[in-house]
Amino acid sequence: MITKEYDLYKKKSDKIKALFKFSEKSIPHFWGLRGIDLKVYPGEAVGLIGINGSGKSTLSNILAGIIPQTTGQMTIQGETSIIAIGAGLKPQLTGLENIRLKCLMTGLTNEQVDEILPDITEFADIGDFVNQPVKNYSSGMRSRLGFAIAVHNNPDVLIIDEALSVGDDTFYQKCVDRILQFKAEGKTIFFVSHSLNQVKKLCDKVAWIHYGELREYGETEEVVEHYNEFIKWFRALPEQEKKEYQNGYKEKQKEFSVDDLKEIASERGHGKSALRGPSIGTMSLFTKIALLFMIVALVVFGTIHVKGRSFKSYFAEEETSKLDKQIGHNLSSEQIYETFIG
Ligand SMILES: Nc1ncnc2c1ncn2[C@@H]1O[C@H](COP(=O)(O)OP(=O)(O)OP(=O)(O)O)[C@@H](O)[C@H]1O
């Protein structure tokens, strides 16, 4: 059961303060995901649908290992690769440099990159722009480059987050063909999209994420139909009711707690392991005290051993150097002779 809790810091300094706060009550929280359970098999393409802000990108970033979940265990067999518009591309580097960087990061050697480079540039088909910094690319070009790199890295799990929505028809068809080829090879695809037609065309199953919850998971036709019914119902609501509906869910996302999660886990028959997680970003009281102690110790140690010398010898030397300055700058040679020698 995957959850993702975001801290809604108002200022950057609040982030640092929060590390040492023994009560986190003053920091507002927001649960982007509230207990997502999914079992996906090799060769399956799963669509992730939902209204804006429902948690699709949060889930796909967790699946790709870009951000950690707050609680829950995730088992992925194989390598993942995510394609989101411009995700992971360095804007200052050229297309070619980005290709090389990404490939080296996946463990290829420079020689291996040289071999697949022509295939990647041919797939991306962005012409001379491949020599331009990515910051000059249009969103379609970024998507082309990102897609070309990701598919040539040959991942076991491919995550596509809205990356097809910005490409033109020719590129879209090329990507669809490659995705279908991946599926046939037994790879798993997660496909985030607002285009229900694309989802219907590509996906075997669909997960409908609704304000951080998994509202429905099943066969594509059925889930898309229910989602469409919801959209129709929602659009027909008067503006005031729409707002109330949205605010009600947002409030639930703010007030969600580990107790709620425990309740969901027991309803679904999960053991305690479903509640465990990487717990990155939260520190236990013991860790906080230990960290504070280490910082104090470092400061004291650093003060006592200034510039590699003990506190006493450092200040003795400081005094001598002051005297040297006085000798050099204020006293004449006769005065020096009289003061120190004569
Ligand atoms: N770093 C963050 N800090 C705080 N809140 C965040 C953060 N990232 C996402 N959120 C919130 O989590 C919720 C889910 O966001 P997410 O981007 O996953 O939604 P989405 O379904 O992909 O939306 P869209 O369809 O608009 O792309 C949103 O309410 C968003 O404001």
pLDDT by residue (tens digit) across 20-41?
655 555 678 899 999 999 999 9
The domain spans of the chain are: 39-237, 285-328
Q: Measured between alpha carbons, how far is residue 247 from residues 13, 52, 97, 220 in Å?
A: 28, 14, 45, 29
In 3-state terms, what secondary structure has residue 239? helix
**87 CA → ligand 1 middle, Å:** 15
Instruction: For residue 217, list its beta bridge partners.
Output: 207
Q: Is the dihedral of CA 331, 337, 340, 342 positive or negative?
A: negative
Phi, psi (rounded to 5 degrees) for 283: -115, 140
User: Which residues in 197-234 are b (16+ Cβ under 10 Å) and which e?
Assistant: ebbeebbebbbbbbbbbbbbbeebeebbeebeebeeee
The pair of three-digit structure tokens given for residue 178, joined into one six-digit string: 């490659």
Q: Is the dihedral of CA 32, 37, 42, 46 positive or negative?
A: negative
Question: What pLDDT is stored for residue 320 in this prediction?
Answer: 54
pLDDT by residue (tens digit) across 92-139?
999 999 999 989 988 889 999 999 999 999 999 999 999 999 999 998
What CATH class does 39-237 carry? alpha beta
127 sits in the region (left: phi over 0; alpha: psi -120 to 50; else beta) called left
Res 304 pLDDT > 80? no
pLDDT higher at 250 or 318: 250
Question: What pLDDT is stored for residue 100 in this prediction?
Answer: 95
The pLDDT of 38-53, averaged and rounded, is 94
Question: What pLDDT is stored for residue 342 in this prediction?
Answer: 41
The pair of three-digit structure tokens given for residue 257, joined into one six-digit string: 């707690």
CA–CA distance, 79 with 112 (Å, rounded to integer): 18
**32 CA → ligand 1 middle, Å:** 6
The tokens 């694309």 sit on which residue? Answer: 198
- What is the chain's mean pLDDT, rounded? 83
* Contact (CB, 8 A) for 81 and 158: yes
Question: What pLDDT is stored for residue 336 in this prediction?
Answer: 44
* Contact (CB, 8 A) for 169 and 13: no
Q: Which of 34, 51, 56 to mutate to test the pocket of ligand 1 (most atoms within 8 A of CB)?
A: 56
* Contact (CB, 8 A) for 203 and 49: no
Element (H, E) at 315: helix 311-325
Q: Enter the ipTM.
A: 0.98
**6 CA → ligand 1 middle, Å:** 9
Please give all residues whose beta carbon lies within 6 A of any atom in ligand 1, as ranges.
6, 8, 30, 32, 50, 52-58
Res 264 pLDDT > 80? yes
Question: What pLDDT is stored for residue 19 in this prediction?
Answer: 63
pLDDT by residue (tens digit) across 149-196?
988 888 899 999 887 777 788 888 888 898 899 999 999 999 999 999
Res 306 pLDDT > 90? no
* R_g (Cα) of the chain, nearest Å: 29
